[in-house]
A and B are shown apart, each in its own frame.
Chain A
Amino acid sequence: MNEITLEDLHGYLDEALSESETARIERALRNSLSLRQVLRGVMLERDRGEHTVGAIWRRHRLSCPTREQLGSYLLKVLDEGLQDYIRFHLDTIGCSYCQANLTDLQSRQREPAAATQARRKKLFQSSAGLLRSR
C-alpha cells in the first residue's frame, strides 16, 4: 500500500521504520504541504501525551521475534509458518529493531574480530568511569 498512514508518521517520529520506509516518508513530506500539516498535528498530539495502540505495540515490541528466532531465521531452520511470519515482520512491517538485530547477526560472521574488539574497548573506556554503585 502506498498511502502514508498516521501510524507511518508515528513510526517515523519514533525511528521505528525501515530505511526505505523512512526515505519514502521524507520524500513525501518534502513534496506535500498537506502531509506536513498532518505531521504537525501528530507531533502536537504526542506533545499532549496522546498515544496510539500502534505506538505502544512498536515501543514494547509486542510481536518481535526473539534474537534466537532471528538467528534460526537466518539459518532457515524454523517451521514454515514462523519463517514466513518473521519475513513479514521484517519486510512488510519493516521493524527497524529486528532489522538491526538481523544485520548484527550477519555482520558478526563477517567482521574481523580485531575490529569488533577495538570498538568495544573504546566504548568501555569511554563509559566505565561512570560506573559506581547505583
Chain B
Amino acid sequence: MASTSADSDRLLVQQIRRGDATAWDRLIERYEGRLLAFVERRLHDRSAGEDVVQETFIGFLNSLPNFDETRDLQTYLFTIAAHKLTDYLRRIGRHPLQNLPEGQEFLEQQVDSQPGVSSIARSKEREQLETDAVVKVLSHMINEWKAAGEFTRVKVLELLFVKGWANKDVAAFLSIKEQQVANIRFAAVRKMGENMKDSGLPEEVFPGLKRQA
C-alpha cells in the first residue's frame, strides 16, 4: 500500500545513496527511537541497546547498494535489528539457546547444516516467489477487510496463521462459530493456492495450512 510515509522514505534513501548527510541524519531521527524500543525490550540495558541500534544503522548503510526501494524501509530496519540483536546476545553468551542443556549443540548444528551455495541460491529464488504470492493474496484480503470494518475476519486469519491456533480455539476466543472460522480459512487457503498456481508454483507449497485445519 503506497503512502506518504513510504514515498518520503524512498526519497530519503535516494538522497542517502547520493551521500547526503542531512538525509542520513533525518533517517536516524525518524527510526532510532522505535529501533531502540525494539531491542531494549530484550536487553533491558540502554547502553547495550544503543550499541545494537548503532550496528543496525551501520548494517543498513553497508547493505544499501542491495536495498530494493520497493521494500518497506521500517520492516527492513527491524529485520536488520533482529539479526544484530541475536548476534549481540550470542556474543555476550546470553542467547537463549546457549543457556539450554543442548544449546551449544543447537547453535553448532545451525552452522554445520548450511546448504551449499548453489542450493541456497535456488531455494532463495523459490522462497521469494512463494513469499510474493502469499503477500499479494493476504495483503489484498487484509486491506479489503480493514477498509470494510470486518476486523473479525482479520483476527481469525491472524490467530490461525500468525499464532498457529486451531480452528476451535480461534472460534472460542472470538466467540464465533467454528464453521465461520473454517470458512474464512478455506477461502484464504484457496486463494493462496490459486495464486501459487498462477505463479507456476505447486499449490501444496505450505502443507501445514491444511494440516492445521
Chain B residues whose CB sits within 8 angstroms of the CB of A18 once the complex forms: 41
Are the CB atoms of A51 and B127 closer together than 8 Å? Answer: yes
Size of the A side of the interface (Cβ < 8 Å), in residues, is 71
Chain A residues whose CB sits within 8 angstroms of the CB of B158 once the complex forms: 57, 63, 89, 93
Size of the B side of the interface (Cβ < 8 Å), in residues, is 79
From the candidates B37, B130, B159, B165, name the one contacting A100 in the complex (CB within 8 A).
Answer: B37
In the assembled complex, the Cα of A122 lies from the Cα of B25 at a distance in Å of 11
Are the CB atoms of B123 and A96 closer together than 8 Å? Answer: no
Q: Is B70 an interface residue (CB 8 A)?
A: no
Instruction: Label chain A's interface by main secondary structure.
Output: helix
Which residues, 40 to 61 on A, are CB-close (under 8 Å) to B?
40, 43-44, 47-49, 51-54, 56-61
Chain A residues whose CB sits within 8 angstroms of the CB of B109 once the complex forms: 40, 43-44
Instruction: Label chain B's interface by main secondary structure.
Output: helix
Q: Is A74 an interface residue (CB 8 A)?
A: no
Q: Is A36 an interface residue (CB 8 A)?
A: yes
Are the CB atoms of B162 and A96 closer together than 8 Å? Answer: no
In the assembled complex, the Cα of A59 lies from the Cα of B139 at a distance in Å of 13
Give chain A's interface residues, CB within 8 Å of chain B.
1, 5-8, 11, 14-16, 18-19, 22, 26, 29-30, 33, 36, 39-40, 43-44, 47-49, 51-54, 56-63, 66-68, 79, 81-82, 84-85, 88-89, 92-93, 96-97, 99-101, 103-104, 107-108, 116, 119-120, 122-124, 126-128, 130-134
